Amino acid sequence: MTTTPFTRRQFLTASSASLAVSLLPHRTVAAASAPSRWAIGCFNRPWTKWSYDDTLDAIKAAGYTHTGLLSPTKDDVFTSANATPAYLAGLKAKIAARGLKVNMTALRVKTALPLAEAIADTRTQIANGHTLGVEFALTFGEDKPERYAHYFKIMADAAAFAQERGIKLVMKPHGGGSGSSAEIVTAIKQVGHANFKIWYDAGNIVYYTGKDPVAELEPILPHVTGFCAKDCSVDPGADGKRKPDVMIQFGTGKVDFTAVFKKLKSGGFHGPIMVEGCKIGATAAETTANARANREFLEKILATV
């Protein structure tokens, strides 16, 4: 049997093709195992007993670049319907002066009002969020079963109104009609709009339902576009009653952040992650140190996920 020898050009072509093929699996594995680089921001909740100027300084000092308007105070109404144009302009300037970006505002949906009034109030809140340039408007669901249908109608209108303004409407687990995945799936179906998604909150799943946040994530995974980060401890107390607490340091409670983030990654999650909870200290500075520690905790986990 005779063989035809390779020319030099044939040898180089074949060698290059083999090299290219041999590299493909390694690139695929590297991409699959690359650490997650999701943006980590911080809400204002840990500093509500201090001024908002102090809060913004603290968020910046804790190493965050993004913030969200979660918890209004007596002095700051954020994007509530009664916020004035002058107030919104000042708020926007305060945030920008620290080099921070605001990506989310919370909606307080007034389901006790008649439908037309509740829709108008919610639209005003969304419009105020648009003035500030937020990407997300977050709702907490509805606690009262007799108002669920009312809430879904308000949200259907809000989803369309927000979409026209480039804002993504999202809901977080918060008990009642947004307690566990079963209630959340029902809400998604009832609202029936593509611009109504979920910001997952593993700490709240533990707080309100006592269920496993990883298992509860599975049915709603394709709908999750953000993550509210807080842990939740369950202290039985001297009387044996369940006394959960979410304003604690990450890693000291019941949430398995590594397992939750792995599940999120498997569903194609892209962030953001917004820190909501930390231990509130005696001073703003002490609270800031705790918020910084929680950011660093998340970063270490994400480097391995």
Return the SS3 of 149.
Answer: helix
Residue ranges in 210-304 assigned as alpha helix (H)? 213-217, 257-266, 284-302
Bridging pattern class, strands 233-235 and 243-245 = antiparallel
Q: What CATH number does the domain located at 38-302 have?
A: 3.20.20.150
pLDDT per position as a tens digit, 9-40: 444 444 444 444 344 444 334 444 578 889 99
What is the dihedral angle through the alpha carbons of 46, 56, 70, 234, rounded to the nearest 10 degrees? -20
| Count of all residues that appear for the chain in the document | 305
Axis crossing angle, helix 148-164 with helix 181-191, rounded to the nearest 10: 60
Q: Which DSSP letter does residue 30 get?
A: H
Torsion of CA 108, 114, 116, 122, to 10 degrees: 0
| pTM exceeds cut of 0.85 | yes
Q: Which residues of the chain have pLDDT under 70?
A: 1-33, 235-242
Mean pLDDT score of the chain, rounded to an integer? 90
Whether the bond into 272 is cis, omega within 30 of 0: yes
DSSP state of 175: B
pLDDT of amino acid 56:
98
Q: What are phi and psi of 188, to 5 degrees?
A: -60, -45
